[in-house]
A and B are shown apart, each in its own frame.
Chain A
Amino acid sequence: MAYRKRSLPRQIVLYVCVLLILGFVLSPYLLGVVTSFEREAELTSRPPFPFKAITPVLDNYIYILSYEPFSLAFIDSALVAITTTCFVMIAGSMGAFAIAHLRFRGRNFLFNFVVVVYMLPALAMLIPIVVLLKELTLLDTILGMVFAHSILLLPLMTWFLIGIYEGVPADILEALQMDGTSRIRSLFREVIPLSRFGFFLILVFSFVTSWNDLMFANTVGIVSVKLLQPRILEFMSGARVLFTQMAAAGILSSLPVVALAIVLQKQIIAGIMKGAIK
């Protein structure tokens, strides 16, 4: 591939296509950013943005950042996402490692069970979870939210992790056995660093799923616990927030997850490079 000289017309076509696709992928954000710097009056008056010049203002961001429901929701979402991710990664790792490498009765059954649970759509799980949380009076609490998200994520994450841990060569694990670490310590001290690339991928996936979730957050959290995405939904259906302010809120809400995605992509490229050299 590297040595093919492309004729000029083909080059142009290639770059045009790439730009079109990038435009497609990025346009909502680009417009969103522009909108978040617009004044409401300018937004609602036709013609819309690209066809007229606008003067950027920071008002929207100032409003949103000082709007308590929003910042509270932001913090709560972060709390839930981080806690859920920690729990799922630790518990999931332990289960996945055991399933991947230890031999015990019921191993195959457990593995299949994990896959089956994952097949069920979130909503079907949500209904019983909500009922249970209500019984435990954990509805509308942070703890309940963390539990709910954990249940959502644990099967899939464990399944992924099993794949990751199976990739660790068995003889290294045996060398660890010979060299004296107990199984559990070897998991955390050695195996995870060995598979840190896949581990990180799943960690990001876990965080992003929790942060982005709407359905569970909207159902489990009603009054006291309002997470970020339900708040944004509220903005969109209510009339208290202007579109330009909504845009600012949207951009701010996406920042953590988009940033993580970009970091992840960089890791992936770095990982491929390392693999290629080896």
Chain B
Amino acid sequence: MARLKAESRDAAILLSPFFVFLAVFMIYPLIASFYFTLNDLALSDLKPVFIGIANYIELFSDKLFQQALLQTLAYLTFHTAVGVPFGLAIALLFNEEFRGRGFARACLLIPWATPPIVAAMLMYILLNAGFGPVIYGFEMVGLLPTQFTIFGNPNLALLGLAFVSLWKSSPLFAFIFLSGLQNLPSEVVESARVYGASSVAIFRRITFPFLKPVLAVNCILSGILALSGTQAFDIVIGITNGGPGYRTYMLYFLAWNQAFPWNRLGYGSTIAYVVTIIAVVFALVLLKIWYRRK
């Protein structure tokens, strides 16, 4: 009996800095953030005024919220539906043998490691209407009209941001897919080839089913990144700051915007929680799909 106690005591010593930090700085935010959604709170005076679910009610009738919601969903869909398959394609490609493969794979981590703000900046320079080569190149060839701009165009700005996100995320997805592919035993593929299976068939029957769990992970990751990750915030604030005319406002950005520049911490928290709920729902839906297919 004393042995069990000794083990618990050991564990306690081991955990104590963790516990203290956990208690003070994690449980508190967890509970407080929810509490704030029920309050009106400004950072300047820190006196919460209890207003019940008024924040939530306000949310539902807020036109900007609705617009941001739609834009967020569009962004999320694009990010996942385009980004993940693209990542898979890159992974399959980089799984082949070629000279410089190690270098190519090393490059995959660079977009992930890049500070999002810097990524935003670099992409801005690249895609800039004024001095970016890409648009100029297209204009020269005649594919695009002069005075064409991506981020200044209300209809294209969100797409432009999505593209930047894609740059940042797809290589990461590819990297994760590659790691998954490493675990695929090569004998399975080799024996299939011996049997005369074509590459397409091998992919459909062997590789893809094997990668399904990894695919699920990447999709969920994509959801989290698009909704509340650096793609959702840093890129937006760096390039368009929500513009032009609120067309690139997304929920996460809106939440921050309400909380800090507008100094409405309660309202901001509320929106943040809505984002959480969407993320959880997204993940659950995804998992349901996969587990039913099984």
Contact = CB atoms under 8 A, between A and B. Distances in A.
Please tell me whether chains A and B touch each other in their complex, using a CB distance cut-off of 8 A. yes
Interface of A: 1-2, 4, 14-15, 17-18, 21-22, 24-29, 31-32, 35, 43-44, 46-51, 90-92, 94-95, 97-98, 102-105, 116-117, 119-132, 134-135, 147, 150-151, 154-155, 158, 182-184, 187, 208, 211-212, 214-215, 219, 228-229, 232-233, 236-237, 243, 246-247, 250-251, 253-254, 257-258, 260-262, 264-266, 269, 272
A150 B272 contact: no
A105 B30 contact: no
B98 A246 contact: no
A128 B32 contact: yes
Contacts of A134: 43, 46
Contacts of B32: 127-128, 131-132
B109 A92 contact: no
Given A102-B7, A258-B110, A128 B33 contact: yes
Contacts, number: 268
5 contacts: A31-B122, A51-B137, A128-B29, A151-B21, A183-B10
Contacts of B260: 219
Contacts of A35: 125
A106 to B, nearest CB: 10
Contacts of A102: 7-8, 10-11, 14
A121 B275 contact: yes
B14 A184 contact: yes
Interface of B is mostly: helix
Contacts of A29: 110, 122
Contacts of A49: 133
Contacts of A236: 117, 120-121, 124, 238
A151 B122 contact: no
B13 A184 contact: yes
Given A91-B21, A124-B269, A131-B32, A51 B233 contact: no
Given A184-B14, A212-B115, A17 B133 contact: no
Interface in B221-261: 227-228, 230, 233-234, 237-238, 241, 252, 255-256, 259-260
Contacts of A246: 121
Contacts of A47: 136, 140
A17 B93 contact: yes
Interface stretch (B99-107, B152-160, B210-218): B99-107
Contact of B136 (A2, A22, A46, A264): A46
Contact of A128 (B13, B36, B107, B118): B36
A48 B136 contact: yes
A202 to B, nearest CB: 14
B98 A104 contact: no
Contacts of A257: 113-115
Interface in B159-212: 167, 171, 182, 186, 189-190, 193
Contacts of B41: 131
Contacts of A254: 113-115, 118
A123 B274 CA distance: 12
B259 A123 contact: yes
B112 A261 contact: yes
A18 B104 contact: yes
A28 B250 CA distance: 24
A124 B26 contact: no
B14 A97 contact: yes
A150 B238 contact: no
Contact of A51 (B15, B118, B133): B133
B110 A25 contact: yes
Contacts of B182: 272
Contacts of B107: 22, 25-26
B121 A250 contact: yes
A264 B179 CA distance: 14
A215 B189 contact: no
Contacts of A94: 14-15, 17-18
Contacts of A27: 126
Given A1-B186, A94-B15, A98-B14, A14 B98 contact: yes
B15 to A, nearest CB: 5
Contacts of A208: 112-113
Nearest to B108: A25
B21 A264 contact: no
Contact of B189 (A1, A90, A130): A1
B201 to A, nearest CB: 15
Contacts of B117: 212, 214, 229, 232-233, 236
B68 interface: no
A219 B19 CA distance: 26
Contacts of A182: 10
A151 B109 contact: no
B79 to A, nearest CB: 16
Closest CB pairs A-B (n = 8):
A95-B18, A121-B228, A261-B113, A128-B32, A28-B122, A128-B29, A124-B272, A261-B109
A21 B25 contact: no
B259 A127 contact: yes
A45 B116 CA distance: 27
For A17, A117, A123, A154, which residue has the most chain B Cβ atoms within 10 angstroms?
A123
Contact of A131 (B46, B132, B186, B256): B46
